[in-house]
Amino acid sequence: MASSKASRLGEEYVWRTRMDKVNAELVVLTYGAMVAQLCKDFDSDYVKVNQQLDKMGYNIGLRLIEDYLAKSNTFKRCSNFRETAEMIAKVGFKIFLNITPTITNWTSDGKQFSLVFDENPFADFVELPDDGRAQDELWYSNILCGVLRGALEMVQMQVEAKFVSDVLRGNDTTEMRISLIRYIDDELPPEDD
Amino acid sequence: MDEEDERGAVFWRLERIGYRVGQGLAERFSRDRPRFNDTLDVIKFLCKDIWTLVFRKQVDNLKTNHRGVYVLTDNAFRPFARMSAETSSQTLIRAQPFLWFPCGIIRGALAGLGINATVHAETTQMPTAIFQIKTVPAKS
Amino acid sequence: MSYYFAVIGTQDNPLFEYEFGTSKQGGDGQSRFTEQAHHLNQFVLHSSLDIVEEVQWMNGQLYMKVIDKFFTNYISCFMTGGSVKFLLLHQPSATASGTASATRNSTSVGANPTSPQTEEAIKNFFSEVYENYVKAIMSPFYKVNMEIRSPVFRQRVAAAGRKYL
């Protein structure tokens, strides 16, 4: 139920608005040039690069959620985390990146799932540096984890999001793992960082 | 770091990232067309093709002194489309940084097509943006 | 038929090189350059760069066909929008030696280096390499005029060689 509704919402939006499309190469190049610049800034300390990307994504997510709520026409709160997952994959990703990652690998308590990306508009043409470390340490698309973390925090969900595999590293799939830590009851303003 | 330094640092970073993007775009999108005849040909490609790719419209006006200076005017510069601040002078100052990444793109695209240049941008009236390109003679 | 392919940067600096043999007419894809030729090839290719400088203004095409000849070595050239040059040295197998492979080669694509068929085959090869070259340089960690070390690019050049030459 929730699943088909989410798909419909995503499709509807794309159809209704003729979505402002940004040139794909421009996206790849811009994101890529930024990541490459960070690698240079941090002297190829990829752990720091991952952190920085996550942080940038977080700051984007905090604000992107408004845009999402406005564009998606969803006025209703998700009734559970499974529904949240559906909305992220089929509405959120559809609206902003025109992709629909697959939801999979739920834990039995319904608090953890994976998003598997068959396509990743940030990663076309990308080959990681062949310094023998990037393949093991850099999560190239890590900004996406931060975006989800920031966006969900604004709707009272504290989550942890991290990549567990990436085709750029030679893995078979690109998979992000999302875990619900807790629902935030008291409405604290988000930390400024 | 004082504010001036910080602005400078931001400028260089955005400009450099734009430069890389411009290089990539130039090589990618010059692929499906015949070779360029001269600098003006390249500048036109920039005003039409590259501009459309990045900003979804063409440059509105191109002027040149025929001695290596080209002035591109975009009367409705996309990044400025939804900008406003309390006073117009404040808007102009705060809009400035949004010109830096495009400056880099222009310089990078030209470099990718074999033209070294310096690029300056300014806006005196939103949402118009003016880019001045000065080509540096090749040292062949 | 043996081939030596090189990508030359805007400062006439080599960015990539790859040597292979024909895969047409039962060819095994291995080059048959002599020991001496290995060293000579680089030199021959680079010496043709001056000619590229002249020829590039003669027509508006990216593909300039055969631009130079040095004994039995023919050089075909292609220039990208960013003024990076693709050079292909092709050397029909020596007919005098009369080896089995040489006789087979007489009917192969490369036997007559300036025939329309050969020109077309090389054009296709260059186009496919160009397509992949653009992808390789789009990778954010690649810097313009840097040696292309991407194993993916090498594989794709090899594949294009097998397919067309």
Token pair listed for A117:
């990306």
Inter-chain residue contact B30 with C80, CB threshold 8 Å: yes
Kindly provide the ipTM of the predicted complex, given to two decimals. Answer: 0.88
Q: Give mean pLDDT, residues A36-58.
A: 96
Backbone torsion region of residue A103, taken as left when φ is above 0, otherwise alpha when ψ lies between -120 and 50, otherwise beta: beta
* Interatomic CA distance for residues B50 and B48, integer angstroms: 6
Which residues on chain B are in Cβ contact (under 8 Å) with C131?
A: 31
Closest residue in C to B30 (Cα) is C81
**How many CB atoms lie under 10 A from the CB of residue C33?**
19
* Tokens, residue C15: 């960015």
Q: Kindly tell me if the per-residue pLDDT of B19 is higher than 90.
A: yes
End-to-end C-alpha distance for chain B, whole angstroms: 40
The tens digit of pLDDT for each residue in C101-124 reads: 444 444 456 567 778 888 899 999
Residue A129 has its nearest CB partner, among C135, C141, C152, at C141
The pLDDT of residue C73 is 85
Total structural domains within chain C: 1
Q: Above 50 in pLDDT, residue C99?
A: no
Per-residue pLDDT at C98: 39
Q: Which two tokens stand for residue A97?
A: 């990146």
Give CA angle at B119 (A123, B4), nearest 5°. Answer: 90
Q: How many H-runs (helices) and E-runs (strands) does chain A carry?
A: 7, 4
The CATH number covering residue C65 comes to 3.30.450.70
- Domains of chain B (ranges, CATH numbers): 3-135 (3.30.1380.20)
Nearest-by-CA chain B residue for A41: B13
Are C61 and B26 within 8 A, CB to CB?
no
**Whole-number pLDDT of residue C45:** 85
Concatenated DSSP letters of A19-77: --PPPHHHHHHHHHHHHHHHHHHTTT-HHHHHHHHHHHHHHHHHHHHHHHHHHHT--SP
